Structure 1
């Protein structure tokens, strides 16, 4: 089935940064929308093609592995006026039947007004904020980060107006400066899944996005984003992947490529190096936001309080890296079979 391609416009992109971490909230500027080219199915990282499993979490233990994941605790709202506080409570993130379950609850909470890395420079580092929802954000920051690789996450996404699940990456160190000079990689994000949508197949919102953020410091930052219809049922698990090599990124859903971006499609104001800022190590983030610029400006608008709690279920996370000595042509191919 041919995927539906949506072009981003400036209006819905205002504040469209659930996955990103600007120093303060603000609009983003679109420089290009990538065209979707269908390229077939069956892409997988095969060992005979040089791909080696470097890191994974199958969530087979009784609790979240603290050697692999940290949990951010703050009520900042991601710089997007999101409506959740992130907690380290098992009510918001836990292992259930071999899966990581991130749960957003309609539950008022007061907590730190800023994330930990911003508090030291704040006028009032002990400031608090109260939000009407709680959720969780897991990060491999300080524990695992990668420069290039094949990142794959199998997950089932929550539905409802105002939901904003994301699988994404931020630089381990801001080598080119703070956001967005050092970049951001959004492997998958989705908003308002399952809500009424006249132009969507089946009449329900089913769009997923793959996005890069880069350029200059906010508010002169830029993005390059592709939106497509999620194949299959929203009630099923799907596999979201990014193949990241020198000067090239490829996005897949269920083994089908839906976007390719190359050096020249991104930049940073910090240097003329063509691969920058995506030539540094990035760590992985899994989170479920409620509300914020992108979901509240789309769909039915705002946040519906119906159907809580909302669950973002992750079956596994796997990261492969390329062994060029095994790869026949010196570069690991993407096609696996």
Structure 2
């Protein structure tokens, strides 16, 4: 009897030992992609928000909010722009494209209550109050300016956050005009950010000011993957990214980074053109 049971006991013993290992392995996230891999929208995702800028002369107020909250105090990083609210020179629809334009401008005679001496005007558009998302596939088709002193950015922040990185920041694409061959991608958190010098960052090397490109983000439970034109450029685990986020499109001027080599005022205005913004999510997240 014991002899006949031995093989069964051995089998059960090994099954018991291996089962936790298999369960643990099954719960491990898949490896992250590497730069150069294809970045495609996953199956089963549906459009939940988009703007293709085909109508109107200014950004749709039902989709876009003009962020002006720090004009009086001054914007972060020593930036020099005043973000105008609904000023057509700075944010408009032109030839089926959204144009965000930073301009050298004397604002002293305009009677602006929140003006604090800035020599440049620009616009910072967000989806605050209109749309926010946790996870999804984002694609923004845009042409970025490459004038020295300009700082265009396409990025995400939690809706109720004022640059303390609680809930994270996702920089889909940002560039400084004196580096026309590099677009930066990054994620920032309260513990890992550019101030501490330990944030996670990737780069795309190409002449970004030469034309329109698709700037893309895949954000899921286990990964943040950023790409350009269907190719992965940066990937990381989304540690601490637990809140819905809004999309931000802006062109800053100067500051510690973009102004490090001066500002070519004669070359301004600096414009970012956006032909479409689309967000997809899994059908069960709608």
Report if aligned partners of 1:50, 1:324 keep a CA contact under 8 Å in 2: no
Counterpart of 2:199? 223
**Helix, strand or coil for the counterpart of 2:257?**
helix
Q: Does 1:286 align with 2:249?
A: yes
Question: Match for 1:53 among 47, 57, 76?
Answer: 47
Is the helix fraction higher in 1 or 2?
2
**Helix, strand or coil for the counterpart of 1:186?**
strand
How far the C-alpha of 1:160 sits from its partner, in A, is 1.3
How far the C-alpha of 1:308 sits from its partner, in A, is 1.6
Q: How many residues align?
A: 248
Structure 1 residue runs without a partner (length 5+)? 1-34, 114-125, 196-204, 264-274, 326-337
Counterpart of 1:267? none
Q: CA RMSD in A?
A: 2.8
Relative to structure 1, the CA distance from residue 36 to residue 106 in structure 2 (aligned partners, 3 Å threshold; closer, same or farther) is farther
Question: Match for 1:78 among 75, 80, 104?
Answer: 75
Report if aligned partners of 1:138, 1:287 keep a CA contact under 8 Å in 2: yes
Q: Does 1:147 align with 2:144?
A: no
Structure 2 residue runs without a partner (length 5+)? 1-31
Give 1 or 2 for the bigger CA radius of gyration: 2
Counterpart of 1:211? 186
TM-score by length of 1: 0.67
Relative to structure 1, the CA distance from residue 36 to residue 228 in structure 2 (aligned partners, 3 Å threshold; closer, same or farther) is farther
Q: Runs (4+) of structure 1 moved beyond 6 Å? A: none
How far the C-alpha of 1:311 sits from its partner, in A, is 1.1
Relative to structure 1, the CA distance from residue 143 to residue 112 in structure 2 (aligned partners, 3 Å threshold; closer, same or farther) is farther
State the distance in 1 between where 2:222 and 2:74 align: 32
Relative to structure 1, the CA distance from residue 319 to residue 206 in structure 2 (aligned partners, 3 Å threshold; closer, same or farther) is same
**Helix, strand or coil for the counterpart of 2:259?**
helix
Deviates more, 1:129-138 or 1:70-79: 70-79
Counterpart of 1:69? 64
Report if aligned partners of 1:36, 1:226 keep a CA contact under 8 Å in 2: no
Relative to structure 1, the CA distance from residue 255 to residue 72 in structure 2 (aligned partners, 3 Å threshold; closer, same or farther) is same
Relative to structure 1, the CA distance from residue 163 to residue 144 in structure 2 (aligned partners, 3 Å threshold; closer, same or farther) is same
**Helix, strand or coil for the counterpart of 1:215?**
coil
**Helix, strand or coil for the counterpart of 1:234?**
helix
